[in-house]
């Protein structure tokens, strides 16, 4: 029986564009109302078809992958949301360069490669989300980030409806940042990453140890998007600043700062996007008034028509 609330993506028997999909079920924060249209795609061809669908109907479009660094508006999205999922990877056994689709889960990739004796990226082993999101946000920890491994990426230019290869310089990487971070017109479809030979057992043990460390320090399994605010510097971490400003136990509605780590804003009890935005601005105001420091967000907010920068109240 055909599903009355979905239509097939042109050129694909399996991929369907669905209507009225609750975005809360498709991101780690668990926050977001219904998307008018929603599709999960794996291949570059399907990404292009999804964008053609949106162009033909003049719909706003938003693309993401793992959903672990954002939250959606509780009123939903008035256009097409494209989620990149799965897709897989190929290893060149001589160079240990891995070509990987954007929708590939990053922790899964690191663990699977480790079993083959391919490593050198333990620091990425417990960062939730997919490869595409990690490249666009220059994910990392302990002073290392994914830009150090990137050889090139395949990018889809939505306006021109063309693909091109970008080298690291193109991205203008900096701390948790690339030029694609707020660019809704260019999508990372796949990436080539350089790995190196590594002992399987030692790599898996290191990744597991790091996971245990996270679990002891962060609300790692909570509904959240990781560190909410950017650190000012290595010496001035966001959690320390929030704590020093006396804001560590702040809460608005169902959103609160985690008692375990003040820089993790968590969806504790059916938080709405308005709760999260209000709590974010409350913390920014408190820190500015007490310490004169401006807190910038790391997490992204997807409004009803696209990604929006969370600006502090003026
Ligand atoms: C518990 C927890 C711990 C975390 N710890 C860390 C950490 O240690 N270090 C760290 O860096 N991050 C951390 N994060 C944040 C998050 O895991 C990373 O930012 C991750 O790389 C996001 O990837 P994603 O695929 O989930 O991105 P998404 O949330 O899907 O997307 C994030 C942004 O990237 C854009 N985007 C996604 N995919 C693409 C694409 N293919 N092309 C173009 N744009 C795209 C989206 O439009 C969106 O703007 C943590 C998060 C959680 C929940």
Contact assessment for residue 154 and residue 189, using Cβ atoms and an 8 Å cutoff: yes
Kindly state if the Cβ of 140 falls inside 6 Å of ligand 1: yes
Q: Specify the pTM.
A: 0.95
Kindly state if the Cβ of 223 falls inside 6 Å of ligand 1: no
Active site residue 176: yes
Grade residue 311 by pLDDT with cuts at 50, 70 and 90: confident
Mean pLDDT of 33-62: 94
User: What's the CA-to-centroid distance between 4 and ligand 1, angstroms?
Assistant: 33
Q: Measured from the CA of 132, which atom of ligand 1 is nearest?
A: 41
Locus of tokens 């306006």: 159
Q: What CA–CA distance (Å, rounded) separates 273 from 2?
A: 34
242-278 pLDDT per residue, tens: 999 999 999 999 999 999 999 999 999 999 999 999 9
Residue 2 to residues 12, 13, 34, 46, 287, Cα–Cα distance (Å): 15, 12, 21, 20, 54
User: What's the CA-to-centroid distance between 192 and ligand 1, angstroms?
Assistant: 18
Given 16, 176, 194, 214, the catalytic residue = 176
Is the pLDDT score of 43 beyond 80? yes
All CATH 3.30.465.10 domain ranges of the chain, comma separated, are: 89-198
Give the pLDDT of residue 12: 80
Give the pLDDT of residue 4: 53
Residue nearest to atom 21 of ligand 1 (CA): 134
CATH class of 7-84: alpha beta
165-185 pLDDT per residue, tens: 999 999 999 989 999 988 889
Contact assessment for residue 21 and residue 38, using Cβ atoms and an 8 Å cutoff: yes
Q: State which CATH number among 3.40.640.10, 3.40.190.10, 3.30.465.10, 3.40.50.300 fits the domain covering 89-198.
A: 3.30.465.10
221-308 CATH fold:
3.90.78
User: What's the CA-to-centroid distance between 259 and ligand 1, angstroms?
Assistant: 23
Average pLDDT along the chain: 94
57-105 pLDDT per residue, tens: 999 999 999 999 999 999 999 999 999 999 899 999 999 999 999 999 9
Residue nearest to atom 51 of ligand 1 (CA): 226
All CATH 3.30.43.10 domain ranges of the chain, comma separated, are: 7-84
All CATH 3.90.78.10 domain ranges of the chain, comma separated, are: 221-308
Using left for φ > 0, alpha for ψ between -120 and 50, and beta otherwise, residue 163 falls in beta
Residue in 26, 63, 133, 143 to alter for ligand 1 test, most ligand atoms within 8 A of Cβ: 133
């Amino acid at each position: 029986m055909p599903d009355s609330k979905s239509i097939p993506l042109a050129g694909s028997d399996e991929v369907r564009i669905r209507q009225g999909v609750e975005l809360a079920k498709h991101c780690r924060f668990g926050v977001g109302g219904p998307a008018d249209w929603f599709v999960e795609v794996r291949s570059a061809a399907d990404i292009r078809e999804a964008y053609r669908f949106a162009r033909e109907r003049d719909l706003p479009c938003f693309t993401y992958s793992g959903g672990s660094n954002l939250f959606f508006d509780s009123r939903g999205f008035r256009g097409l949301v494209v989620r990149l999922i799965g897709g897989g990877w190929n290893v060149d056994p001589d160079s240990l360069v891995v070509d990987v689709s954007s929708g590939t889960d990053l922790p899964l990739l690191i663990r699977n490669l480790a079993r083959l004796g391919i490593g050198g990226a333990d620091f990425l082993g417990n960062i939730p989300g997919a490869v595409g999101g990690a490249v666009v946000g220059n994910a990392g920890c302990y002073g290392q980030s994914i830009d150090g491994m990137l050889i090139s990426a395949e990018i889809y230019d939505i306006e021109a409806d063309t693909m091109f290869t970008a080298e690291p310089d193109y991205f203008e990487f900096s701390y948790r940042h690339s030029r694609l971070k707020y660019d809704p017109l260019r999508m990372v479809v796949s990436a080539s990453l350089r790995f190196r030979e590594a002992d399987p057992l030692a790599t898996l043990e290191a990744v597991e140890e790091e996971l245990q460390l996270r679990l002891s320090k962060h609300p790692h399994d909570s509904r959240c998007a990781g560190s909410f605010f950017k650190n000012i510097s290595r010496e001035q971490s966001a959690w320390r600043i929030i704590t020093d400003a006396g804001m560590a136990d702040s809460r608005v509605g169902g959103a609160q700062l985690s008692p375990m780590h003040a820089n993790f804003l968590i969806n504790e009890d059916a938080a709405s996007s308005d709760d999260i935005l209000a709590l974010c601005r409350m913390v920014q105001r408190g820190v500015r008034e007490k310490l004169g420091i401006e807190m910038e967000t790391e997490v992204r907010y997807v409004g009803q028509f696209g990604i929006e920068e969370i600006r502090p109240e003026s």
